[in-house]
A and B are shown apart, each in its own frame.
Chain A
Amino acid sequence: MLILTCPYCGVSGEETEFHGGGEAHLKRFGPGASEADFESYLFHRENPKGVHFERWRHVNGCGKWFIAARDTATLQVFGTYPAQTTEPPQEIRDKITAARPGWRWRDFA
C-alpha cells in the first residue's frame, strides 16, 4: 500500500484518497520552441524502476497538488513537498541519497 503525506493539510492518507498526476518537474515548452522540445515536453516521460518524482493531488481531501518522491518498485516514499517547487528540495535529495546512494533522475542527483 502506498501511503502519502499531504504537505498542505498534513494528512497521511492511503493512495485512494489521492490522484496521481503524472511526472513532476517537467520543463514546459510552448510557442516558439523547437518541434523536438515540444514533442519531448508532451510525450517523453521517465519510466524508472526505482526513484521517481510524481505529481499527486489530494483529491478527496484538501484538494491541493503536491509532489512526491518515491521508489516505484518498493513504494518507499522519500518525501512530499508543495507543487510550487521547481526542483527537489535538498532535504528530500538527502533522504533519497541515504536510501539509494548514487541515484539519478533526469538532471537531478
Chain B
Amino acid sequence: MSETVTALGGAHYAGYATITEQPARGMITLRGNLAEVAVKNAATGVAGVDMPDLRECHIVDQRGIAWMSPDELLVMVPHPEVASAVSTIQQTLSGLHSLVVDVSDARALFRIEGSGAREVLAKLCPVDLSPAAFGPGQIRRTRLGHVSAAFWMVDDSAFELVCFRSVAQYAFDLLKTAAEPGGEVGVF
C-alpha cells in the first residue's frame, strides 16, 4: 500500500481565522436518482448519517453525506475505508442506473476555524454568510476567487471546504491572505 500524500502536506496558517489542510478523507461521488430507496440506503449505509435534503450536508467527524445536485451526493468515510465503501455501494446499487467513483485523490480539504471564519469565506465567495443565512447542516457550492469550491460548517465556528486538488495551493493562498491579521472587517 502506497503512502497517501495530500496536496499541501497539511499546510497551516494562523491568522484571524486558522486555515489547515486536512488529512486525506475518503470521498465518493454517487450519482443516481436520489429519490430511490436503494440510493439512500447505499449512501447512509456506509456514511452512518441521515440522508441530506436539498443543499444539506450531514457530517459527523470523518463520515458524512453532502447534497451536491439533484442527482449527486458526496459520500465521506475515513480514508482507509474508501475502497470497501465503494464496493459496498456498488453491490447495494447493482442493476440500478447509477455511478459510484472514489474521488478522494481529486480533492483537497481545508478546515477554516475561529471567530473570523465566516468573514474569511465571505471575502472570497459571493455568498451570504451571515449566521441567519448559513449554518451547520447546510452546504454551499460556489466560487472561491477564481475556482469552484464547496463548504459546509461542522460547528458554529468551523467550516470544511473542498476544492480540486490541482488548485489546492491557490485556494490555500487565497484563504491565508483573507485571514491575515489587520484585514478584519467585523461584519458578522
Enumerate chain A interface residues (CB-CB to B < 8 A).
8-11, 13-14, 16-17, 59-64
Q: How many angstroms from the CA of A10 to the CA of B119 in the assembled complex?
A: 23
Q: Are A14 and B126 in contact (CB under 8 A)?
A: yes
Q: List 27 A-B contacts (CB under 8 A).
A: A8-B69, A9-B54, A9-B69, A9-B70, A10-B54, A10-B55, A11-B55, A11-B140, A11-B142, A13-B126, A13-B127, A13-B142, A17-B126, A17-B142, A17-B143, A59-B148, A60-B141, A60-B143, A60-B148, A61-B141, A62-B68, A62-B69, A62-B72, A63-B69, A63-B72, A64-B69, A64-B70
Enumerate chain B interface residues (CB-CB to A < 8 A).
54-55, 68-70, 72, 126-127, 140-143, 148-149
Instruction: Give the 8 A-B CB pairs with smallest separation, nearest first.
Output: A62-B69, A14-B126, A60-B143, A61-B141, A60-B148, A17-B143, A8-B70, A60-B142
| Cβ contacts under 8 Å, A63 to chain B | 69, 72
| Cβ contacts under 8 Å, A64 to chain B | 69-70
Q: How many angstroms from the CA of A8 to the CA of B54 in the assembled complex?
A: 9
Nearest CB of B to A44, in Å: 33
Q: How many angstroms from the CA of A8 to the CA of B67 in the assembled complex?
A: 12
| Cβ contacts under 8 Å, B127 to chain A | 13
Q: How many angstroms from the CA of A62 to the CA of B55 in the assembled complex?
A: 10
| Cβ contacts under 8 Å, A16 to chain B | 126, 143
Nearest CB of A to B36, in Å: 18
| Cβ contacts under 8 Å, B72 to chain A | 62-63
| Cβ contacts under 8 Å, B149 to chain A | 60
Nearest CB of B to A19, in Å: 11
Nearest CB of A to B134, in Å: 11
Nearest CB of A to B116, in Å: 22
In the complex, the chain B residue whose C-beta lies closest to that of A82 is B70
In the complex, the chain A residue whose C-beta lies closest to that of B148 is A60
| Cβ contacts under 8 Å, B143 to chain A | 16-17, 60
